[in-house]
Amino acid sequence: MKKNQFGASTTTDEVLAGVNLQGKRILVTGVSAGLGIETARALAAHGATVIGAARDLKKAESATAGVRQAASAGGGAFELVSLDLANLKDVRRSADALLTKGEPLDVIIANAGVMATPFGHTADGFETQFGTNHLGHFVFVNKIAPLLRNGGRLVNLASSGHRFANVSLDDPGFEKTPYDPFVAYGRSKTANILFAVAFDARHRSRGIRAAAVHPGGIQTELGRHMDQSQFQTLIDTINKQLAAEGQGPFEFKTVPQGAATSVWAAVVASADEVGAKYCENCHVSEIVPDDRIITPISEGVRAYALDPRAAEALWKKSEELVGEKF
């Protein structure tokens, strides 16, 4: 692949042009909306067997009709499994069912997530965003990790929102600090990146690599907890910063452009290129210093999100919180 062949406007189908995924088994979480549906569709259309995980199977069933059509047209297959990431009992049930079946996986794409939710808790008493986005996936992925074939891959959906906040290991539930929905989102997305770093370190000896990806700014169900005025304020702030940098106004990506980096990191990029890295716009991101002010849509990853020591500390804390060692 030529360097910089792909970019921000590249779609899933462009990333996968000429790629045959027959014989590959890929699990994608969050397939009942937006990026999850498109990720599953693109992979199945190129011959992969895709296992889609969703909390609401009825909703997912109707939402993925197009995925099934793409699968049958492209020689792939698609099946659904239920998974509620906000309930660790259900996470373990879902993982155990997959382990019992024992069918190997080539890739896990941890795509599901929530953003800027009102203050609340998961079934296990964790702050909603940290509990769902990080701890739910932490348990699920680690439990099914034995199914990953040698040379397999984990792709965690992160966000430029990781720049809102580093993780807080001494106050993950906002018991000591006032709750801010975007700080909570930032913490959970930083956790998604750090989880990829620590997972990569543990499984690299089997050729299994893990990467984190930022899909870009896309209008999906993810923003359903933001009211219109909050949303407009965010866009206005971004546009002011862009204007100050001499750039034109912000444009949303389409869903196929947003899902392209997930697909690229999962099956197109080389393992060594993306292992333990943060990727966006179909390439590996540069680290930007903490003191450099950048717009929410500028490229770049904060160093704290890729720090191996922080990744190990988060892993240990996560094991304590969920009561299970991996």
What per-residue confidence (pLDDT) applies to 14? Answer: 97
The span from the CA of 144 to the CA of 201, in Å, is 17
Is 185 annotated as catalytic? yes
What per-residue confidence (pLDDT) applies to 294? Answer: 63
**Residues in CB range of 197: below 8 A, 6 or more apart:** 210, 212, 276, 306, 307, 308, 311
Q: What is the pTM of this model?
A: 0.92
Strand 278-280 relative to strand 209-214, pairing? parallel
**Residues in CB range of 129: below 8 A, 6 or more apart:** 114, 115, 116, 117, 181, 184, 185, 187, 188
What per-residue confidence (pLDDT) applies to 231? Answer: 65
Q: Where are the domains of the chain?
A: 12-322
Task: With residue 279 as reference, give the H or E element that holds it.
Answer: strand 278-280
pLDDT truncated to tens, each residue of the chain (326 aa)?
A: 444 589 999 999 999 999 999 999 999 999 999 999 999 999 999 999 999 999 999 999 999 999 999 999 999 999 999 999 999 999 999 999 999 999 999 999 999 999 989 999 999 999 999 999 999 999 999 999 999 999 999 999 999 889 889 999 999 999 999 999 999 999 999 999 999 999 999 999 999 999 999 998 876 554 555 566 766 777 777 768 767 777 777 677 899 999 999 999 999 999 999 999 999 999 999 999 877 766 656 789 999 999 999 999 999 999 999 999 99
What per-residue confidence (pLDDT) applies to 297? Answer: 61
Beta bridge partners of 153: 107, 209
Instruction: Say if CB 84 and CB 139 are below 8 A apart.
Output: no
Q: Could you read off the pLDDT of 174-218 as tens digits, one per residue?
A: 999 999 999 999 999 999 999 999 999 999 999 999 999 999 887
* Burial annotation 17-56 (CB, 10 A radius, 16+ → b, else e): eeeebeebbbbbbbbbbbbbbbbbbbbbbbbbbbbbbbbe
Report the candidate in 146, 143, 278, 266 with the shortest Cα–Cα distance to residue 206: 146
What per-residue confidence (pLDDT) applies to 1? Answer: 41
Domain formed by 12-322, architecture: 3-Layer(aba) Sandwich (3.40)
What per-residue confidence (pLDDT) applies to 32? Answer: 94
